[in-house]
Amino acid sequence: MNTAFSEAFTKISTRIPHAVRDFEILRVTAQLEGEDYAASAEASRKEALKWAKKRAGRALPKAAWELQDFDLLVGGRSSTAVRIENDALDLWALRAEDPDKDIAGRIWSTEIVIGGEVGSRPHVSLRLIVSTTEPDFAVEPHVPGPVLQMIETPGLIRGARRLTSKPVTIQTENDAEDLCDHLEDPERRLPIFVAALPDGGGKLQFNAAVLAKAVAGLARIVLVPAELTWVLTERFGKYRSVFNGGVRAYLRGFSATDDPFRHRLFLEADLRKVGGGATCVRSLRALAAEVSISETRLGKDVLDFASVRTASRKLRKTDLSNQAAPDDEVLKTAEELVESLEKQIEEKDKEIDGYIAEVEAVEDRAQAAEQENRSLLFRVRQLQAALAEGGEVPTEEPPLPQVWSEFTDWLDQTYPDKVLLTPAARRMARSPEFEDVTLVARAIAWLATVQHDRRINGGGSLRDVPVENGILNSPCGGDTYSTDWKGRRYEVDWHVKNGGNVRDPKRCLRIYYFWEPETQQTVIDHLPAHRRTSAT
C-alpha cells in the first residue's frame, strides 16, 4: 500500500463511526433480609423504582408503582419492567437506561431481578452493562445506587452474612478467629479485602470508606486493629497474612496452604507512595467487579432481564390461548414474544462474544506463563550446570539482538526473572516499524539493572532519569492506562522514551511498563513506539 493511499485511508477511517459495543461491568447476587418475604420483596422493588425515577427523564407510569409491566421509552433513558406472578413464582424484573453524565454516547443499563419461588426467601440479582462506541473503554467500577439503597432497606445477605456498604472493624480476638474461619470457608463466594490498621494508631493510606461503598455487594471490607493481626499470622503464616497498614484481597478458595501470590497484597510502604492509595482502591474495585462476573453464572446465580421478559411473554401467550382470547390479542402477544426472543438472541450473542474474549485472554495468560516458565527453567539449568562443573555462575550475557526476530529470545534468556512482556507486547515485538532494535534492548537492559536495583534497594528517584543520551525514563502522567496481567488489573504508569515530539513509528521510542511489587518484576505492556489511543 503506497504512502499517499495509506494516509488518505487513515483520514477517512477516523471519520467512520465506531460500532456500539456492550461491556458487562459487574453482577450482584444476594437474598433479601426479613421474615416477611412478600414485604421485603415489595420494599426492594420500590427502592429500585425510586432510583429509576430519578433517571427516567419523565414520571414513571402508574403501572410501575403497582409493580406491573410497563414500558417508558425515552431516548437513552428508557425504562422497562415485567412481572411473572402465579401460585408458584413471583418474579419482577426492571431494566433502566441512563446516559453517562460526562461521556457522550455512553449509555449505562442496569438490570434488576427480584423475587423467586412463593414462600421462599426472595433473591436479588443485578447486572450493570455499558454500551459505547469508545475504542479505548475504561471505567472504575462502582455498584449502582439500588444496591446501596437495598442494603439499607430491607437489607441484603449473602452466605448468611449481612452485606454492608461500610468497612467492618473487628473488636476482639474471637472476631479475628471468626474472620479466619470465614476466609477459609469453602462456601464463601465474595472476596474479602482485609486491611491491617497501622501500628501506633495511625491512619490507613487508602480510603476504606470509598472502597467499601464502591464494592458493596461485591466484596467485604474488614479492618483489623494492629494488636489483632497476630491472629492471622499465627493461623496462616506471614506470607499469607496482612499487617501494619497493608491490605490484602483474599479470594474465594483461600486456605493456609494456598499460593500467597494469588491473593494480592498491597504493602503499607507502597500505599504511602504518591498515588499509591488511589491505585490500591482502583485495583480492588476492578478486581471485585471482575470476580463478580467470573464467579457467577447467568441463568443460575444471576438472571438477565431478557430471559425474564421472554418467559413472561410465553406465559401470557399460553394463558390467552387457554382462555380462548380474541385472535388479534393472541397475535399481538405472539408478536411481542417473537420480538422478545429476538432481543434475547441478540443478548446471548453479545454474551458469547464476551466469553470468547475471556477465553482468548486466558489463552494469552497461559502462553505467557508457559513462556516465562521455559525461560526460568533455562536459567536454572544454566546455573545447575555451572555448579555441577565446579565453575562460577555464568555472567556473560547473550549479545544484543540485531533484528527483531532475535529480540524475544534474547530477552527471555537474559532477564527471565526481571523483565517480562505481556502477551500484547510480545505480539508487538514480532515485526514493528521501529528500526533500532539494539536501542530497545539497551533500554530494557537498563530496566533490568539500574531500575530494578533502585526499586529494590533504593538509590534515588526514577523520574526523568537518563537511560542514555536522548533517552529518558519518565512517569506516563496523562498517558497512564490500565491493563490486565495474569488475571489482575494494573496501572501502566511508566515509560522509557526518546525526546521531542517524534511521531514517526520508525524513530519514536516508547516502552510502557509497570512495576509488580510482589514478584519484583518489570512488566512491559507496549513497545516500541507510541501507544495509539482514541486521542491520537
What is the per-residue pLDDT for 264? 92
Q: What percent of the chain has pLDDT over 70?
A: 82
**Which of 105-119, 487-501, 510-524 is least confident?**
487-501
Residue 424: is it exposed, middle or buried by C-beta count within 10 angstroms (0-12/13-18/19+)?
middle
Residues across the chain: 536
What is the per-residue pLDDT for 13? 46
Cα 66 from Cα 71, distance rounded (Å) = 13
Cα 64 from Cα 51, distance rounded (Å) = 13
Largest CA distance in the chain: 95
Which residues are 31's β-sheet partners? 123, 157
Average pLDDT value for residue range 503-516: 88
Q: List C-alpha distances in Å: 289 to 187, 211, 294.
A: 19, 12, 9
For residue 295, give the 3-state DSSP assignment: coil
Q: What is the pLDDT of residues 191-220, one digit of tens each?
A: 999 999 998 878 999 999 999 999 999 999
Q: What is the pLDDT of residues 40-92, one digit of tens each?
A: 999 999 999 999 999 898 899 999 999 999 999 887 789 999 999 988 899 99
DSSP 363-397: HHHHHHHHHHHHHHHHHHHHHHHHHHTT-PPP-PP
Cα 166 to chain centroid distance, Å, stands at: 21
Cα 302 from Cα 287, distance rounded (Å) = 19
Q: Is the pLDDT reported for residue 531 higher than 80?
A: yes
What is the per-residue pLDDT for 358? 66
Q: Look at strands 70-72 and 79-85 and give their pairing.
A: antiparallel
What is the per-residue pLDDT for 16? 47
CB 71 within 8 A of CB 145: no
Residue with the larger pLDDT of the pair 105 and 338: 105
What is the per-residue pLDDT for 517? 85
What is the per-residue pLDDT for 155? 97
What is the band of 18 on the pLDDT scale with cuts at 50, 70, 90?
A: low
Q: What is the pLDDT of residues 416-457, one digit of tens each?
A: 889 999 988 998 998 899 989 999 999 999 999 999 999 888
What is the per-residue pLDDT for 12? 44
Average pLDDT value for residue range 152-177: 96
What is the per-residue pLDDT for 395? 56
Q: What is the pLDDT of residues 264-297, one digit of tens each?
A: 999 998 899 888 899 899 999 999 999 999 899 8
For residue 41, give the 3-state DSSP assignment: helix
**Which of 169-173, 359-363, 469-473 is least confident?**
359-363
Q: Is the pLDDT reported for residue 30 higher than 90?
A: yes
Q: Is the pLDDT reported for residue 534 higher than 60?
A: no
pTM: 0.76
What is the band of 21 on the pLDDT scale with cuts at 50, 70, 90?
A: confident
User: Across all residues in the chain, what is the average pLDDT?
Assistant: 86
What is the per-residue pLDDT for 3? 47
Q: Is the pLDDT reported for residue 95 higher than 80?
A: yes
What is the per-residue pLDDT for 187? 93
Q: Is the pLDDT reported for residue 316 higher than 80?
A: no
